[in-house]
Structure 1
Amino acid sequence: MLVVAAIFGLVRLADAWGTLGHETVAWIAQSYVSPATKEAVQVILDSSQSDYMANVSTWADSYRYTDGGGWSAPLHYIDANDNPPESCSVDFNRDCGDEGCSVSAIVNYTSILLDDESKASVKRDAMRFIIHFIGDLHQPLHDEAIDVGGNTINVTYDGDDTNLHHIWDTELVEQLADGQDAEEFAKNLTAAIRAGAYGWDSSTWLTGASLNDTKASAMTWAHEANAYVCSDVLAAGVDAVEEGDLSGSYYKAHFDVVRVQLARAGFRLGAWLNLIYTGQAGD
């Protein structure tokens, strides 16, 4: 039992979306915040840098490796105890553990940012967590319990042995970016959002988003991401992804999920921060 627990702890330390993904989400969000929101966020982060959100977007992953940050590991995901690919569902009462989850974290840290009495240091951590956890929530395997969120599903990608969770965090994103850094990748995705490319309709992406019920808002996004586990991530079952090299036909079949989820995460992060600081989702 101790060995199993140790393995579980290690695999759940895998970075969500990877550095490129999280920085891309943050850069997109920076394109959508209002001037007032930008000023508020920069004050909280004590930063005047052009990448003021992007440069803290992976802080939460680094923090949980520290001696004092291990408690935050469960906040990076919500473990849907469903049955993909036959059925996908996520339920807060069933799936958010006693130590918390991504949804409860978004609720908590949003409330801290809304509280004028919160200390500056507490608000800084809350901001860094929000920037990261809204990104996490959009990676489908961060809304799934099967095989520890895909961490124990062994796969091959571009000739390398890895696991399913890792390729959704990193390899699929990097192949999609095709050499672009996060800022450039984000600029192209932001342009696609504004142009309505790929059939995207961003006017629907904030449906149900409200500070009056932050848990329901976050759960809407979790349901959406979790559904992709059945329709795309594990559509053909676990055995199918453990065969062959996934950088070919698997990538071609599912890269659009990565693209739209990165775009939605950045768009929603910007809108969420606007709601907190201006009361309006738009920039």
Structure 2
Amino acid sequence: PLHVGFVGDKGGNTIKVRWYRRKTNLHHVWDTMIIESAMKTFYNKDIDEMIQSIQSNITDDWLVDVPSWENCNATVCPDTYASESVKVACKFAYRNATPGSTLGDDYFLSRMPVVEKRLAQSGVRLAVILNQIFASHPSIAKE
């Protein structure tokens, strides 16, 4: 969500924090550290396990949300996605992440489900776009 964060902190890049004991910045926490920590803590460092869990959530827990993820006019989709991301950034990324703070279990465990849902949303949305491209250009799909 910090890719559309605030210009003043360069999307969290200038907010220096600690992820447990490691020095980093808030943007990196959201791009990498939460996912790496989830892989280690919940998925035995197995990407296939994480993917299976997210897929299971898409077909079970988030099933009612999926149609809204798939339905978007191509012209306004980027605005919709950016607006969602700003809300997530304000509600989750920036909250309790002040410069110099240490982000640990409380932050990780409350943000990990948000990151996993955003991964699911992006996967579903990418699939829709690719399906549209290949449906309108069948010769590309055959290559």
TM-score, reference length from structure 1: 0.43
Secondary structure in 2 matching 1:191 = helix
Give the letter aligned to residue 163 of structure 1.
N
Q: Does 2:45 align with 1:219?
A: no
Change (3 A) 1:223 1:160: same
2:100 corresponds, among 225, 242, 245, to 242
Unaligned runs of 5+ in 2: 137-143
Matching of residues 48-197 of structure 1 within 5 Å: 140-144=1-5, 145-178=7-40, 179-195=44-60, 197=61
- Counterpart of 1:256 in structure 2 is 113
Give the letter aligned to residue 187 of structure 1.
Q
Give the letter aligned to residue 156 of structure 1.
R
Q: Deviations over 1:223-251 (max 9, x none)?
A: 11111111111124x53x632x3121111
Change (3 A) 1:198 1:272: closer
Report how many residues are paired. 132
Higher alpha-carbon Rg: 1
**Which structure has more strand as a fraction of its residues?**
2
- Partners in 2 of 1:189 and 1:263 — Cα distance? 6
- Counterpart of 2:140 in structure 1 is none
Q: Matched residues, percent identical?
A: 30
Change (3 A) 1:173 1:226: same
Instruction: Report which structure shows greater RCO (CA 8 Å, sep ≥6).
Output: 2
RMSD: 2.0
CA apart distance, 1:198: 5.7
CA apart distance, 1:183: 3.2
Change (3 A) 1:263 1:146: farther
- Counterpart of 1:100 in structure 2 is none
- Counterpart of 1:201 in structure 2 is 65
Unaligned runs of 5+ in 1: 1-139
- Partners in 1 of 2:58 and 2:45 — Cα distance? 18
CA apart distance, 1:274: 0.4
- Partners in 2 of 1:207 and 1:170 — Cα distance? 28
